[in-house]
Structure 1
Amino acid sequence: MRVGESTTDEHRAFALSILIFWTVHYFVLTALAKLSGATAMFDLSLRRIPLTMLAMLLCYAIYRYLRRRRGGSFWRLAVMAGGLALAAAAIYGLVTTIVFAFIAPIRNFGPYQWRMFLEDSFIWLYSFFSWAAIHLAMVYSFEVSDRERRLVKVEALAHQAQVHALRYQINPHFLFNTLNSISSMIWDRELKGAEAMLVSLSAFLRTTLEIDPSEDVTLSQEIALQQLYLEIEQIRFFERLKVEIDIPSELADARVPSLILQPLVENAIKYAVAPSKGVTRLRIAANRSDDSLMLHIEDDGSVTQVAGGTGVGLRNVRQRLAARFGERWSLDAGPAIRQGYRVTLGMPLQYAAT
Structure 2
Amino acid sequence: MASRLIPAPDNLSPKISPFWHRIFPVNIDIAVKTILGVWAAYMFANIVRATMWSPQSHNHSLEYYIITAVISITVTWALYRLLLKAGESLTLAVIILTVPTIFLALATVFVSNSLLAYPAPMLEYLSASHNIPLEEAHTFFFDAAFTNYLIFLGWGGLYLAMANSRNTEIALVHSRNLERLTRGSEIRALRYQISPHFLFNALNSVSCLIMDKQNGQAERLIDLIADYMRSVLYYDGEDIITVEKEVAQQIRYLEIEQVRFPSRLQFEVNISEDARQWKIPSLILQPLIENAVKHGVAQTSVPVCITISATIESGRLKLTVTNTGRVSVIGSKAKGTGTGLSNVRERLEALYGPAAALITGNGLDDVVIATIIVPSEDQIFKDYAL
TM-score, scaled relative to structure 1: 0.54
Report what 2:191 is aligned to: 158
Report what 2:340 is aligned to: 313
Q: 2:359 aligns with which of 322, 333, 337?
A: 333
SS at match of 2:89: helix
Distance 1:130 1:298, change over 3 A: same
The Cα of 1:170 is off from its aligned counterpart by 1.2
Q: 1:199 aligns with which of 190, 207, 220?
A: 220
- Please state if 1:134 is matched with 2:167: yes
The Cα of 1:147 is off from its aligned counterpart by 1.9
The Cα of 1:142 is off from its aligned counterpart by 0.8
The amino acid that maps onto 1:27 is L
Q: 2:229 aligns with which of 204, 208, 215?
A: 208
Q: How far apart, CA to CA, are the structure 2 residues paired with 1:316 and 1:247? A: 24
Report what 1:74 is aligned to: none
Report what 2:124 is aligned to: none
Q: How far apart, CA to CA, are the structure 1 residues paired with 2:154 and 2:317? A: 47
Q: How far apart, CA to CA, are the structure 1 residues paired with 2:315 and 2:163? A: 35
Distance 1:345 1:34, change over 3 A: same
- Please state if 1:168 is matched with 2:201: yes
Report what 1:221 is aligned to: 245
Equivalent positions of 1:29-178 (< 5 A) are: 29-35=94-100, 128-171=161-204, 174-178=205-209
Deviation readout 1:243-290 (Å, 9 max, x if unpaired): 221112333344443332222111111112222344433221112346
Q: How far apart, CA to CA, are the structure 2 residues paired with 1:227 and 1:178? A: 21
Q: 1:346 aligns with which of 339, 357, 373?
A: 373
SS at match of 1:281: strand
Bigger relative contact order, structure 1 or 2, given CA contacts below 8 A and separation 6+? 2
Contact 1:242 1:280 in 2 (8 A): yes
Q: How far apart, CA to CA, are the structure 2 residues paired with 1:240 and 1:167? A: 21
Q: How far apart, CA to CA, are the structure 2 residues paired with 1:341 and 1:123? A: 67
Contact 1:329 1:345 in 2 (8 A): no
Q: 2:271 aligns with which of 247, 258, 263?
A: 247
Q: How far apart, CA to CA, are the structure 1 residues paired with 2:201 and 2:375? A: 29
- Please state if 1:258 is matched with 2:323: no
Deviation readout 1:190-224 (Å, 9 max, x if unpaired): xxxx66x8535522333214522322444323222
Q: How far apart, CA to CA, are the structure 2 residues paired with 1:295 and 1:219? A: 9
SS at match of 1:211: helix
Larger radius of gyration: 2
Contact 1:178 1:232 in 2 (8 A): no
Distance 1:256 1:334, change over 3 A: closer
Contact 2:224 2:255 in 1 (8 A): no
The amino acid that maps onto 1:336 is N
The Cα of 1:168 is off from its aligned counterpart by 2.0
SS at match of 1:170: helix
Q: How far apart, CA to CA, are the structure 1 residues paired with 2:169 and 2:191? A: 32
Q: How far apart, CA to CA, are the structure 1 residues paired with 2:213 and 2:252? A: 16
Equivalent positions of 1:290-301 (< 5 A) are: 292-301=316-325
- Please state if 1:26 is matched with 2:91: yes
Q: Which runs of 5+ in 2 are unaligned?
A: 1-85, 104-152, 379-386
Distance 1:22 1:297, change over 3 A: farther
Question: Identity of counterpart residues, as a percentage?
Answer: 25
The amino acid that maps onto 1:175 is V
- Aligned Cα root-mean-square deviation (Å): 3.8
Report what 1:14 is aligned to: none
Contact 2:264 2:302 in 1 (8 A): yes
Contact 1:255 1:349 in 2 (8 A): yes
Q: How far apart, CA to CA, are the structure 1 residues paired with 2:286 and 2:186? A: 19
Distance 1:261 1:179, change over 3 A: farther
Contact 1:241 1:279 in 2 (8 A): yes
Q: How far apart, CA to CA, are the structure 2 residues paired with 1:317 and 1:182? A: 37
